Structure 1
Amino acid sequence: MAAAPTTISATTTPWSDTLPRRGHVGILALILTETSFFSIFVVAYIFYIGKSLTGPFPRDVLSVPVVNTICLLSSSITIVLAVRALRAGSIRAFAIWWFVTFALGLEFMIGTAMEWHHLIYHDGLTIRTNLFGTTYYSLVGLHALHVTVGLTLILLVLVFTLTGYMNERHVERVEVLSWYWHFVDAVWVVVFLTVYVVGR
């Protein structure tokens, strides 16, 4: 008697377990694209260092944002703890660590806004003042835009969590968002070294 033919489900294929998840592929593609974009701004900033004909110059007005940097880099740790808590099914711990991540990112943005306010209204540095102003606000502003996008998404997840819509089934989506946040933090390291170390 002939053996019954083996059927393969339309949703389960022999290679389905080895293929990367769509969310992971998507966020990696985004990160690679944004990395190229940021590279252009970093190179432009480095190229124009010291070429401003008029002041103010970086050494005259820039102070190293130590607290802001510590807060933003620390948020990479808290978001990892949040994802681990969600994977373990602890919604309360996830909500706490997720909120801390949001608070640290928000502090970074507040610190950046205060720095810009001082540079504009006290030191007279705007995006049109000189080459330094143009490249500074373009590079730091591009990063701030990405932080704002990340914070908006983090806040949205926090709202879903507080309203009871978040559970361990959403781990993959939250993890994808955490990868974006790690990217934002990694970019800040490059921006920090470029603007506040090399550029001064």
Structure 2
Amino acid sequence: MATHAATTPGLAEAPTFHLEEDHHPEGSTMLGFWIYLMSDCLIFAVLFATYAVLGRNYAAGPSPKDLFELPLVALNTSMLLLSSITYGFAMLEMEKERVDTTLMWLAVTGLFGLGFLGIELYEFAHLIHEGATPQRSGFLSAFFTL
């Protein structure tokens, strides 16, 4: 809606526009979020089912016992879990409108994420160097896909 008002003769005040917020039905964005989340769950369920079927098909190639270093896997899992915790701390600080501590927790989360990605890249490079590529067996194909 535009309104015009003249304060002095010959000069008109700039039109003023008032925008009304869009009204969405209650829960419409939540429905979309849940559809997205469930589709993601279905995709991962199919990938894990594929891994379960192909997980024992080594084709005379290396098995998981031959490839994975459990201490490194544990460290990587810890990094992932700790990044989730620090992100939660950041969200709590954000709700309290504490910008500096929110940014600090997000930076810590980013460092854990970078550490996780670094270990993943090292593991993949090591596996490929050892000849454990997705083309080698059904197990490795399913592993790399997951």
TM-score greater than 0.5 by the shorter chain: yes
TM-superposition CA deviations, 1:33-92 (whole Å, max 9, x none): 111001111001111122222211111112221111101111111111111111111000
- In 2 relative to 1, CA 86–21 (structure 1 residues): closer, same or farther, beyond 3 Å? farther
Q: Give, as a single letter, the amino acid of the residue that structure 1 aligns with 2:145.
A: S
Q: Which has the higher contact order (CA 8 A, sep 6+)?
A: 1
1:106 alignment counterpart: 114
1:190 alignment counterpart: none
State whether structure 2 residue 53 is matched by structure 1 residue 54.
no
Counterparts of 1:20 and 1:77, CA distance in 2: 28
Which of 72, 75, 87 is equivalent to 1:79?
87
- In 2 relative to 1, CA 46–11 (structure 1 residues): closer, same or farther, beyond 3 Å? same
Counterparts of 1:102 and 1:41, CA distance in 2: 27
State whether structure 2 residue 27 is matched by structure 1 residue 20.
yes
Aligned to 1:42, the other structure's residue is in SS state helix
Aligned residues with identical type, % of pairs? 24
- In 2 relative to 1, CA 40–66 (structure 1 residues): closer, same or farther, beyond 3 Å? same
- Is residue 132–residue 140 contact of structure 2 (8 Å, CA) maintained in 1? yes
Which of 101, 123, 136 is equivalent to 1:129?
136
State whether structure 2 residue 123 is matched by structure 1 residue 120.
no
Relative to its length, the structure with more strand (as a share) is 2
Residue-pair matches, total = 125
- In 2 relative to 1, CA 92–52 (structure 1 residues): closer, same or farther, beyond 3 Å? same
State whether structure 2 residue 36 is matched by structure 1 residue 30.
yes
Which of 57, 66, 69 is equivalent to 1:63?
69
State whether structure 2 residue 57 is matched by structure 1 residue 45.
no
- Is residue 59–residue 136 contact of structure 2 (8 Å, CA) maintained in 1? no
Structure 1 vs Structure 2 CA RMSD: 2.1
Q: In structure 1, list runs of 5 or more residues that go unmatched.
A: 1-9, 140-200
Relative to its length, the structure with more helix (as a share) is 1
Counterparts of 1:91 and 1:21, CA distance in 2: 30
- Is residue 57–residue 137 contact of structure 2 (8 Å, CA) maintained in 1? no
Counterparts of 1:138 and 1:27, CA distance in 2: 25
TM-score by length of 1: 0.57
Counterparts of 1:69 and 1:133, CA distance in 2: 20
